[in-house]
């Protein structure tokens, strides 16, 4: 069974961090409605959802992905690159504690979960504006002894590695070649986003289904043409806070080892 940790949209989301996106008004009710539909989609795909309450003083707290990296063996609590986001971590740690032993990324290292893409026993880590070389090294010092191969990936032009590339199947990636070099992923199948839809690479694979933003129909067609089960969600309001579909949840296997995990 998959668990999905989520958090309600903060009433202060309008004060979110922004890096590559121009600030525009965010309709809180619309953002909440979209988030509800996203959580429904996770439930439809069989996830047991652990929904944390909104954090009124933490504008970006809905984007729980950045606060942790959940492996089969441990949950790694991050030290987010944006100082404003570090107070999001303790409540996520509490939510993860029943499922995994906890380990921590510590200062001065920084690491955002959005920069960490796990594919089986391989972990790709984007060196972004949020994730430092020390963050990568601390992650490797935890994951390598557990048997994971940790691979550093250069990227540019976007916030996180998973803005540029995500898995849509065990051996297939959805990728924007402008932001990350496909050569970093030799041996894997690559589907490129439609050139007019640069933000379309962020998708969330749950079981065999791909949650994908409805704003990107041309890229969606490419996924459907490959026989993938694509579930559209409208996250346009959350996109104004520079978020997308991976960042709103931490999805992991409740009982790793019992069956194949993500
Ligand atoms: C931030 O800049 O931290 C938030 N406004 C957006 C975080 C999105 N997270 C993600 O894609 N993993």
Return the residue whose CA atom lies nearest to atom 2 of ligand 1: 17
Q: How far is the CA of 66 from the centre of ligand 1 (A)?
A: 7
SS (H, E, C) 186-207: CCCEEEECCCCCHHHHCCEEEC
Query: 3-state class of 45 per DSSP?
Result: coil
**Given the CA of residue 80, which atom of ligand 1 is nearest to it?**
3
Give 187: exposed, middle or buried? Use CB within 10 Å, 0-12, 13-18, 19+.
Answer: exposed
Q: How far is the CA of 51 from the centre of ligand 1 (A)?
A: 18
**Given the CA of residue 160, which atom of ligand 1 is nearest to it?**
11
Q: What is the pTM of this model?
A: 0.97
Q: How far is the CA of 63 from the centre of ligand 1 (A)?
A: 6
Give residue 260's pLDDT.
47
Give residue 261's pLDDT.
44
Annotated catalytic residue, options 158, 160, 212, 248: 160
Question: Among residues 117, 145, 127, 79, which one has the least CA distance to residue 247?
Answer: 117
Give residue 258's pLDDT.
60
Return the residue whose CA atom lies nearest to atom 3 of ligand 1: 17
Helix (H) or strand (E) holding 28: helix 28-44
Helix (H) or strand (E) holding 93: helix 89-96
Where do the DSSP E strands lie in the chain? Answer: 2-7, 48-52, 68-70, 75-77, 102-104, 116-119, 122-127, 149-154, 165-169, 172-175, 189-192, 204-206, 209-213, 229-233, 250-253
φ and ψ at 240, to 5 degrees? -70, -20
One pLDDT digit (tens) per residue for the chain, 262 residues = 999 999 999 999 999 999 999 999 999 999 999 999 999 999 999 999 999 999 999 999 999 999 999 999 999 999 999 999 999 999 999 999 999 999 999 999 999 999 999 999 999 999 999 999 999 999 999 999 999 999 999 999 999 999 999 999 999 999 999 999 999 999 999 999 999 999 999 999 999 999 999 999 999 999 999 999 999 999 999 999 999 999 999 999 998 876 444 4
Give residue 255's pLDDT.
85
Distances (CA, A) of 63 to 37, 85, 145: 15, 10, 29
Q: Are strands 68-70 and 75-77 parallel, antiparallel or unpaired?
A: antiparallel
Among this protein's residues, is 247 annotated catalytic? yes
């Amino acid at each position: 069974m998959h668990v999905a940790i989520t958090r309600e949209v903060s009433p202060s989301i309008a004060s979110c961090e922004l890096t590559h996106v121009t600030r525009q008004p965010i309709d809180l009710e619309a953002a909440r409605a979209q988030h509800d539909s996203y959580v429904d989609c996770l439930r439809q795909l069989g996830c047991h959802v652990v929904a944390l309450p909104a954090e009124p003083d933490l504008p970006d707290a809905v984007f729980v992905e950045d606060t942790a990296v959940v492996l089969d063996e441990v949950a790694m609590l991050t030290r987010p690159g944006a100082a404003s986001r570090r107070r999001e971590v303790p409540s996520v740690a509490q939510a993860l504690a029943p499922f995994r032993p906890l380990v921590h990324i510590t200062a001065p290292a920084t690491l955002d979960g959005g920069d960490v893409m796990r594919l089986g026993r391989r972990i790709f880590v984007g060196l972004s504006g949020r994730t430092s070389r020390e963050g990568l090294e601390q992650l490797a010092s935890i994951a390598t002894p557990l048997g994971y191969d940790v691979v550093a990936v250069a990227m540019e032009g976007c916030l996180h590695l998973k803005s540029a590339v995500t898995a849509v199947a065990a051996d297939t990636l959805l990728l924007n070649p402008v932001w990350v070099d496909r050569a970093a992923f030799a041996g894997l199948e690559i589907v490129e986003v439609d050139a007019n839809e640069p933000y379309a690479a962020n998708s969330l694979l749950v079981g065999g289904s791909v949650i994908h933003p409805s704003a990107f129909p041309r890229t969606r067609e490419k996924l459907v043409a490959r026989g993938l089960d694509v579930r559209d969600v409208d996250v346009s309001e959350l996109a104004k806070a520079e978020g997308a579909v991976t960042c709103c949840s931490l999805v992991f296997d409740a009982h790793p080892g019992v069956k194949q995990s993500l």
